[in-house]
Structure 1
Amino acid sequence: MATTETFESLVRAEFRPRSSYLNTASNGLLPARAVAALQEAALLRAEGRPLTPLYEDVEASRAAYGRLAGVPADRVAAGASVAAHTGVIAASLPPGAEVLTAEDDFTSVLNPFHVRGDLKVRAVPLERIADSVRPGTALVAVSAAQSADGRIADLPALREAARAHGTRTYVDFSQAAGWLPMDADAYDFTAAVTFKWLLGPHGAAFLTVPEDFGGLTPLLAGWVAAERPWDSCYGPVAELARSARRFDLTHALFTYAGLRRSLELIEELGVDAVHAHDVALAERFRAGLAALGHEPVPAPGSAIVSVPGLGFRQPELSAAGIEVSDRAGHLRAAFHLYSTAADVDRLLDALSG
């Protein structure tokens, strides 16, 4: 874990937001090192130089994400969206299989199961999801932290319930990876986009799978999913990758050029240090809201704070240089490593007026 002094100096060197940016749950800010890498990647293309370094960035990003997720790189697939990863998982289920989900979870975690048309998709309140696993539940799919309001799923309880009933688990860490410690090895499948708390550009999402691939078929496999990609550009792939790379989608190379550096920064700071920083600011905001007579959605321990009924104030706050979001009528503030106590107090002052 970075010391307080190291943490603050690294953040100052990488970020200079022009506003009180409290909207990481929508998009994370790019660190300076990622911006520089994106510029260099663009020059490679513009000047006709070999793109070999960009392919190396893909593998470095895969390995770095694996370290953050707690699994080997050969269990990490590099794709483009959580919805695409969910679709592959949905396609693996037999007709009539029951999928347990949380009510109003993010669409990318849910919709591929619904569009199958022949699955039994059951939704329950997030707080009841562990208790709702039952004999015959084939898969439970849930976000680690809810996009709309930051509530954190009781993943240990869910894991135990799933194990007791022989149910597979799928957890979306998109609103958690980067600030909430992960243990992807504890679940059958996990996924996450990388443009939020992991501070990368848009265009990349990772999937983790078991060593035996968990019964998934690489329906979206192209040449990059081959064991020898450059020998597999024409005709059917003769041999799929022996690792999770068989589930890769064609790589957005510029994205990985920037993402590699963003993940390096997260590793340098340490997720534990980021977690402590983010949650402390969220708690400061919750305390300030209570003093103003506002009650946020209960989400203890979350870096996301959602206040019912105040979403309509988002445009005026943005005009005042305070970036938050309006989600389902709630004002959602998301605190990350470049957020400060002064940002929290500025938002509270604006809300008090």
Structure 2
Amino acid sequence: METFESLVRAEFAPKNTFLNTASSGLLPARTVTALQEAALIRAEGRPLDPLFQDVEAARAAFARLAGVPVARVAAGASVSSHSGLFAASLPPGAEVLTAEDDFTSVVNPFHTRGDLKVRIVPLERLADSVRPGTALVAVSAAQSADGRIADLSALREAARDHGARTYVDFSQAAGWLPVDAGSYDYTVSTTFKWLLGPHGAAFLAVPEDFGDLKPVLAGWVAGEVPWDSCYGPVAELAHSARRFDVSPALFTYTGTRRSLELLEELGVDAVRAHDLALADRFRKGLAALGHEPLPAPGSAIVSVPGLGGRQPELSAAGIEVSNRAGNLRASFHLYNTAADVDRLLDALSS
């Protein structure tokens, strides 16, 4: 029987010390193989049916990961396009509550709409800031800049008490933090970070009644019978969340299917335990070096003030991290080891 370690080692063979999953994750070997086969299907002129089947298999795998029926999951391309859908569906003057310095793709569409009231508060005050008249609260489950985890249970209760809808972006959490999409009105996640997929896919989970969303991006794939919806206006939108689909990047979804299957085999709980153990090892090592990371308990992302400028030299030494707002951001995922952590600490000690 394969173990967590043997499964991971069969899928990943990085040529460097890669501690940058918060930017983009490594592709598993099975995903690379599937992408190569998808390219051959196109190159050789074979029917594309298997690639469209991959879209549906990936949708179903994400639904299982998110804990919702597959009929509640839409297949899209990016977080910003999903945020744009939410923004377009709100009435003029609606209040949207967001967290200070949250990721741009989550919040910017509400600002560009122009006729919404967007209120920005510190992350730790988000739940307490929901008030009568708040239409929507939008937040990342884990902050991109520093890994802080939102108090989603408090936010959910506050939103329920005041009749506000909730929008949670799990892009920096799905894959290592459990996702309970049914607890919120709208959840999204891109797939190229912790879900280990190629760029160009992002899932959206909606309520059974679609939560007052308007399918403003609906094209032929959003029809109840897509191949009967190719010309003229769509006569009948899909009866499921597929009405919010956009034309899929087929290669991307082919790869995403295999990456999600690997995560299912490993189990999110096991991945989380692995990732957090490495993050904690890094935090302890930083303390020994006299560095204090930004507070983000229980997160697989660790940001260290004042060290972001060392990113280029670390990259030249074969250690990949990020520089975010002057902070060195390291992120730890299933393919990382204690030796990776120690190599980064050794480099920072010099």
TM-score of the superposition, structure 2-length normalised?
0.99
2:308 is aligned to 311
Q: Which amino acid aligns with 2:289?
A: L
Residue deviations 1:86-119 (CA, integer Å, cap 9, x gap) = 0011111111111000000000000000001111
Q: 1:147 aligns with which of 144, 165, 190?
A: 144
> Following TM superposition, where does structure 1 have runs of at least 4 consecutive aligned residues deviating by more than 2 angstroms?
none
Q: Which amino acid aligns with 1:35?
A: V
Q: Which amino acid aligns with 2:328?
A: L
Q: Which amino acid aligns with 2:234?
A: V
Q: Which amino acid aligns with 1:187?
A: Y
1:54 is aligned to 51
Matches within 5 A, 1:77-88: 77-88=74-85
Q: What is the distance in 2 between the residues matched to 1:88 and 1:46? A: 34
1:172 is aligned to 169
2:285 is aligned to 288
Q: What is the distance in 2 between the residues matched to 1:229 and 1:117? A: 34
Q: What is the distance in 2 between the residues matched to 1:233 and 1:93? A: 28
Give the total of aligned pairs: 350
Q: What is the distance in 1 between the residues matched to 2:3 and 2:117? A: 50
The alignment partner of 2:167 has SS state of: strand
- Determine if the alignment matches structure 1 residue 221 to structure 2 residue 218: yes
1:94 is aligned to 91
1:194 is aligned to 191
Q: 2:270 aligns with which of 273, 276, 288?
A: 273
The alignment partner of 2:64 has SS state of: helix
Q: 2:68 aligns with which of 68, 71, 81?
A: 71
2:260 is aligned to 263
- Determine if the alignment matches structure 1 residue 6 to structure 2 residue 3: yes
2:228 is aligned to 231
The alignment partner of 1:131 has SS state of: helix
Q: 1:33 aligns with which of 30, 34, 39?
A: 30
Residue deviations 1:134-153 (CA, integer Å, cap 9, x gap) = 11111100000000000000
Unaligned runs of 5+ in 1: none
Matches within 5 A, 1:109-120: 109-120=106-117
**1:329 CA drift (Å):** 0.6
- Determine if the alignment matches structure 1 residue 45 to structure 2 residue 33: no
Q: What is the distance in 1 between the residues matched to 2:259 and 2:72? A: 21
TM-score of the superposition, structure 1-length normalised?
0.98
Q: Which amino acid aligns with 1:122?
A: R
**1:313 CA drift (Å):** 0.2
1:205 is aligned to 202
Unaligned runs of 5+ in 2: none
What percent identity do the matched residue pairs reach? 83
Q: What is the distance in 2 between the residues matched to 1:147 and 1:29? A: 18
Q: What is the distance in 1 between the residues matched to 2:179 and 2:249? A: 25
1:159 is aligned to 156
**1:33 CA drift (Å):** 0.1
